[in-house]
Chain A
């Protein structure tokens, strides 16, 4: 035990080990935060996408990129009919309701999109709605007039008719007072109003309206092509990556060590079988087999973990451990254990394995990032877990959407930076541990 304590005390002498430990602590804290803040089922549901994200812009950069560029890019602004008073006017058989949604637009650049979400409550006859847009300079622009179904989405920025009337894409034309055809129109800052006039034909009919003026930036990590906030994936990727790396590393190193020790202890045909199996396993290509299993069965991360561990059991490491264990087998203390009648299992687990565990620890620590990257590699190949958000899946989406080509650098950089951080943290610690626990290297 003192050897362990000495080893840990020595870590402090290696600055890279301290940095590595700090990074690992940070990642662990993030993982714990992610798991407590967003429960597992919630994370899966969020990552499936859909309505939960409809108020976020598509492919928005993180807010900090805008800070660097000068802070002109608009944020997302929403206005809901719940927050404003409704003017009612009785027309006899029908009823006219006027809702005015106000949007204060102080930014220097145009929004990326404008959508109006309408929900109508009615029994038989659909209410009729007329929508116009009032600019700060008082000009009114009619947008649309039509019946409203139960749930509707007016994609104002994709209204071709409006576009041809304005001479600009609607999200630009509605927010500028420039003449149509101007090359670089300026934003008209101020308070805009969206006036929704609805004719209800039923007593209990109601209309609920949400106006979303989508920004160009969102949150600390931006959003992807499905409007999902990347923060969810990046946060949740941390526990997934750590768990995968840790479990795979523990699973493979510990079983490999025990099997090597068993072979050395029993010798004879046991050893021969283990040696041959190892040779077979060396020629089994891990990644193609994982790819094959992912394609034919399931891409569940837990299945992949299982396969990695099973294929890792008889890895090349066995040969190395074997050569380390062979001299130990002859050690006097093992003979002593045998003399007092210790069983084979006891000698392997209590006498042989603990003896070379310290040598194993650095290997083990440096193995963790290998498996973290393996998981990411699989995800980049399109064989990521179908429901869980992981860093690799973010990278895969980015690749599939040609993020670099379109200039969405943030989409690639943040998951990559997290992967790199994890890799560096464990590798730095592992390298320092290697020097601490392997005395032959210590003098170098």
Chain B
């Protein structure tokens, strides 16, 4: 196989790429449809009691009243005339937005707006830059969430895979036993450990800040800024790490143990190959796609855990935003966050599929006919 002609190699690469393209296109379409259904369900749930309609009515009334009061041309109207004018404008607006039509028809309008991320105006909240657009409010918070959860997930993932590999090599040892013994501690979510970490490291021993993302006021110097962010990240990172690491090591260890008892691995060992080579080529390579799968599944699981952890640590990300939105009963922001979360999950699922396609030769060979 290694001696295959270069021509056929290029051809097979092209074929692989073509299949990958077809597969990717198929998955993107399928996922877009999935998001469509998911977002539509969200709209249906949100509107179940006519909530969205009431909300829009209130918004229209507010906007019209503001407009009429602010316009100097209408300053000298008496209150009755002004009422009438306002009512007329509201009716016009209602007709324009087709609020007088049945919900089923309009729900598709909402769907289009949500799919194109036109998430409407917030009722009370605004972004730090002052925008009232839900989209801007959410996008402003996204980097903070990605920073914290990206770091935590990568850390947990790599540490647990490598720890599990080394544990599976000497399973039954004292260390192995204690990690298994600690696995049940992962029953508690990260925010739960967060509370204790704050208690210990922020209040009993005041070493680290108890919340926030940078110190106030934020340092001017970029290095000092980064250092401050790292100091603030330490506790939430530790909380997520503690909550995830043992169960993660446990499941990887079991996984590697099962796979390292396969016949072909025994064979490789019997041939006298060095341990490192056996691990890389005979254990890690064939198990790569399930490893990636579970990494991304873990990401999906962590998105929701993020909400409360952020709130506990006052981390200015999506979770805190959602929490604030609950506090303000700001429905457009809440619905907008659900839509954004749905998109994030869909992107995660897509990445999963895509990596799978690259890693799993079967997908390449049958061109995505899974």
Interface of A toward B, CB cutoff 8 Å: 16, 20, 276, 279-289, 291-297, 316, 366, 369-370, 373, 376-377, 380-383, 395, 399, 404-405, 407, 409, 412-413, 416, 419-420, 423-424, 426-428, 430-431, 440-441, 444
Contacts and interface: CB of A to CB of B under 8 A. Distances in A.
B183 A431 contact: yes
Ranked nearest first, the 5 interchain pairs of A and B with the lowest CB-CB distance are A423-B187, A427-B184, A285-B341, A287-B304, A427-B187
Contacts of A281: 38
A380 B311 contact: yes
A292 B34 CA distance: 20
Given A283-B346, A431-B184, A381 B338 contact: no
A341 B320 CA distance: 58
Contacts of B186: 427
Contacts of A382: 323, 326-327
27 contacts: A279-B30, A279-B34, A283-B31, A283-B346, A285-B304, A288-B322, A288-B337, A289-B45, A292-B45, A292-B334, A296-B48, A296-B51, A297-B49, A316-B297, A373-B192, A377-B308, A381-B307, A381-B311, A382-B327, A383-B326, A404-B210, A424-B187, A426-B187, A427-B185, A431-B180, A444-B254, A444-B257
Given A416-B192, A423-B187, A284 B42 contact: yes
B342 A283 contact: yes
Scoring B34, B188, B307 by chain A CB atoms within 10 A of each residue's CB, the highest score goes to B188
Contacts of B171: 444
A283 B51 contact: no
A424 B345 contact: no
Interface string B172-196: 0000000011011111110110011
A419 B230 CA distance: 30
Contacts of B180: 431
A353 B254 CA distance: 26
B146 interface: no
Interface residues on B, range: 35 or more
Scoring A16, A283, A369, A413 by chain B CB atoms within 10 A of each residue's CB, the highest score goes to A283
Q: DSSP class of A's interface residues: helix, strand, loop or mixed? A: helix
Contacts of B94: none
B254 A441 contact: yes
Interface in B27-63: 30-31, 34-35, 37-38, 41-42, 45-46, 48-49, 51
Contacts of B307: 287-288, 291, 377, 381
A93 B190 CA distance: 72
A420 B192 contact: yes
B124 to A, nearest CB: 13
B162 interface: no
A424 B186 CA distance: 8
A291 B195 contact: no
B199 A404 contact: yes
Contacts of A297: 48-49
Contact of B199 (A369, A412, A440, A444): A412
A118 B16 CA distance: 88
Interface string B314-348: 00000000110111010100110110011001100
Contacts of B45: 289, 292-293
Contact of A416 (B35, B187, B195, B297): B195
B198 interface: yes
Contacts of B331: 295-296
B345 A282 contact: yes
A289 B185 contact: no
Nearest to A376: B192
A291 B180 CA distance: 34
A293 B326 CA distance: 11
B40 to A, nearest CB: 9
Interface in B207-263: 210, 254, 257-258
A247 to B, nearest CB: 18
